[in-house]
Structure 1
Amino acid sequence: MSQATQKQPAREEQRQVQTVRSQIEKKFTRGEKYLIALIAIVIVVTAVLMVSNYASMYGQEQDISQLQSELNQQQQHNEGLEHQVSELSDPERILEIAQENGMELNEDNVTVLQP
């Protein structure tokens, strides 16, 4: 009988240990789970916002480079027109065209304008 009495306290200790372990095995409380879910949502939303901002910046950089190339083309066109204006406003050319149309140069009526 002594062995039977000795086995009963050992079983009771095992039951107590098992009940304590089952209570400890819970990993997270409900509030902690909500907090973890909230943090995960915030991280995902932040990542999505960052990616969308980078995509927007990339699109704007493309627009800027396109506008820059259009600006360079327009500047080249303007320079060509300025060169053409300087060629067409050459005094010798104007005098030649005037003489072809029957005009004569009168030195007394010549007025020199300076820009």
Structure 2
Amino acid sequence: MSTERVKKMQQPIEHQQQQKQVKVKIQKKQWVSTGEKVLYSAATGVIALASVFMVHFSSTTDTLNRDIQQAEQKISQQEAVNDSLAYDAKELSNPDRILQIAKDNGLEMQNAEVKQAGYVGN
């Protein structure tokens, strides 16, 4: 046999071996495992939900504070009105004023003593 013929016979065998080597798959190690991905996703979800809850809670608190401030303003305004009305009532219940109105309407005073009635309230 000639050397060329031997070489030709060996070439198909080498070619088959090369094809076998190409078909072998090498698995690469993942940078982040599947379990870690699940844990990271769950942690991200919890943080997102906590953030939404905090924003909602803050918004509700701000709304309540505004309502309280408005109620306090209304209370102070009503107290001012009440004080003004109490002053007017005290002024209108002056005995000299009542005697003057009585004389203007033709009423005569029999006793010279005029007493102021006490305040009857709730």
Normalised to the residue count of structure 2, the TM-score between the two structures is: 0.66
Taking CA–CA contacts closer than 8 Å with sequence separation of 6 or more, which of the two structures ends up with the larger relative contact order? Answer: 2
Q: TM-score, normalised by structure 1?
A: 0.70
Q: 1:97 Cα shift?
A: 0.5
Percent of pairs with identical residues = 31
In structure 2, what is the Cα distance between the partners aligned to 1:29 and 1:91?
95
Which protein shows a greater Rg? 2
SS state at 2:106 partner: coil
What is the Cα-based RMSD across aligned positions, in Å? 2.3
1:60 aligned to 2:60? no
CA contact (8 A) 2:95 2:114 kept: no
Unaligned runs of at least 5 residues, structure 1: 1-18
- State which of 38, 42, 58 in structure 1 corresponds to 2:46: 42
Higher helix share: 1
- CA–CA distance in 2 between the matches of 1:112 and 1:90? 8
Structure 2: give runs of 5+ residues left out of the alignment: 1-25
Q: Give the number of aligned pairs.
A: 94
How do residues 1-115 of structure 1 correspond to structure 2 at under 5 angstroms? 22-23=28-29, 26-107=30-111, 113-115=117-119
* Mapped partners of 2:117, 2:84: distance in 1: 25
